[in-house]
């Protein structure tokens, strides 16, 4: 007879952070699942335009640096808007320093090593499941 054990996973939400700006205190939250998926999709689409396969792995095409900078504004604005829950107009009215500070904190809250580890684990599981002739049972 086989014995079964139940594994309990504890999922902790990131603590919101408060950023003091000239416009007042602004709270930065963890993105929702749907927001994170949308952000990662836009980030992937944007990055794929500037990353190329080199001899030793992936490399950034510095010849397209101006495009990278011009297209990153929308990504940063989206990240700040979603993580602060501010209306688009309020995000647009932020000073550059405030917007960049909020973007930095939003990345600290949302782009954690734990999140990347979980994403890599899911990607590895999908790769295992999609490989013909293999089982996903561990």
Q: If DSSP codes are grouped into helix, strand and coil, which group holds residue 21?
A: strand
Among the listed residues 93, 63, 65, the one whose alpha carbon sits nearest the alpha carbon of residue 81: 93
At 100-134, the pLDDT tens digits run 999 999 999 998 888 888 888 998 998 999 987 66
Distance CA 32, CA 11 (A): 14
- Whole-model pTM above 0.95? no
CB 83 within 8 A of CB 28: yes
Domain boundaries, the chain: 17-52+59-127
* pLDDT value at residue 21: 92
Residue 72, token pair as written in the block: 């990153």
Among the listed residues 31, 33, 2, the one whose alpha carbon sits nearest the alpha carbon of residue 14: 31
Identify which of 4-13, 34-43, 78-87, 117-126 has the greatest average pLDDT: 78-87
**What share of the chain in percent tops pLDDT 70?**
85
């Amino acid at each position: 007879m086989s014995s079964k054990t139940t594994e309990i996973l504890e999922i902790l939400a990131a603590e919101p952070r408060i950023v003091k700006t000239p416009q007042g205190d602004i709270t930065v939250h963890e993105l929702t699942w749907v927001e994170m998926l949308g952000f990662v999709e836009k980030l992937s689409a944007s990055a794929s335009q500037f990353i190329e396969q080199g001899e030793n792995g992936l490399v950034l095409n510095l010849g397209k640096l101006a495009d990278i900078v011009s297209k990153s504004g929308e990504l940063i604005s989206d990240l700040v808007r979603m993580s602060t829950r501010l209306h688009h107009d309020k995000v647009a009215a932020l000073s550059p320093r405030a917007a960049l500070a909020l973007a930095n904190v939003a990345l600290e809250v949302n782009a954690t090593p734990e999140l990347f580890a979980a994403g890599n684990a899911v990607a590895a599981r999908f790769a295992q499941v999609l490989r013909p002739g293999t089982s996903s049972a561990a």
